[in-house]
C-alpha cells in the first residue's frame, strides 16, 4: 500500500468520518473548494486502487472506505519511524518528547497511559 496523495487522503478522511456518501456530499465536506469532476476523479482512483468501494442506489453511487483508518495510520507512522527514528518506536517517542513541547498534563497523561499498558501486559 503506497501512501495516499494529499487529495486522496482528504477524501479518505471524509469517508472514514462519515461512512457512506455520494460524490456531491464528499465535495461539500472537502476542506477547500473543489469542482465536482475533480473530486470524482479522486474517488475513481481510490476505487481503482481498492481503497474505496461503491454501490448504486437509484441513479447515484455511494462511496465507502474499504481501507481502515488504523491501517493507514500505522503505515504512515512506520514510514516516519523508518525515515527519521532509526526504525524504532522508542526513538520516535524520545523525539516526540524532546521536540514537541508537551505540557505538564500531557506528560502525566503519558505516564498514566504507560502504566495502564504495563498493567495490561502483565495479565
Q: What span, in angstroms and rounded, lies between the C-alpha atoms of 14 and 46?
A: 13
Binders of a copy of itself among residues 84 to 123 (CB under 8 A) are 84-85, 89-90, 92-97, 99-100, 102, 104, 106-111, 113-115, 117-118, 121
Assess 60 for contact with DNA (CB under 7 A): yes
- Rounded Cα distance between 30 and 95, Å, is 32
Distance CA 22, CA 43 (A): 10
- Residue 11 in grid coordinates: 477524501
- 36-60-16 Cα angle (round to 5): 70
Least distance in Å: CB of 40 to a copy of itself? 22
Nearest alpha carbon to residue 14 among 3, 27, 33, 1: 27
- Is 31 a binding residue for a copy of itself by CB under 8 A? The answer is no
| Closest by CA position to 25, among listed 43, 48, 7 | 43
| CB 104, min distance to DNA, A | 39
Site string for a copy of itself, 51-90 (x = CB under 8 A): ------------------xx-xxx-xx--x--xxx---xx
Grid cell in block for residue 97? 518528547
Of 59 and 101, the one with the shorter C-beta distance to DNA is 59
Residue 38 touches which member of DNA, a copy of itself, none, C-beta under 5-8 Å by kind: DNA
- Measured from the Cβ of residue 24, the count of other Cβ atoms closer than 10 Å reads 11
- In the complex, which residues of this chain contact a copy of itself (CB under 8 A)? 9, 13, 69-70, 72-74, 76-77, 80, 83-85, 89-90, 92-97, 99-100, 102, 104, 106-111, 113-115, 117-118, 121
Amino acid at each position: 500500500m503506497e501512501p495516499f496523495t494529499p487529495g486522496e487522503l482528504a477524501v479518505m478522511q471524509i469517508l472514514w468520518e462519515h461512512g457512506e456518501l455520494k460524490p456531491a456530499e464528499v465535495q461539500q465536506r472537502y476542506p477547500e473548494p473543489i469542482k465536482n469532476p475533480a473530486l470524482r476523479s479522486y474517488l475513481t482512483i481510490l476505487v481503482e486502487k481498492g481503497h474505496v468501494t461503491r454501490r448504486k442506489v437509484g441513479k447515484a453511487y455511494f462511496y465507502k472506505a474499504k481501507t481502515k483508518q488504523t491501517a493507514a495510520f500505522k503505515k504512515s507512522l512506520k514510514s516516519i519511524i523508518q525515515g527519521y527514528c532509526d526504525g524504532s518506536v522508542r526513538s520516535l517517542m524520545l523525539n516526540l518528547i524532546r521536540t514537541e513541547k508537551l505540557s505538564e498534563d500531557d506528560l502525566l497523561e503519558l505516564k498514566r497511559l504507560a502504566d495502564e499498558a504495563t498493567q495490561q501486559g502483565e495479565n
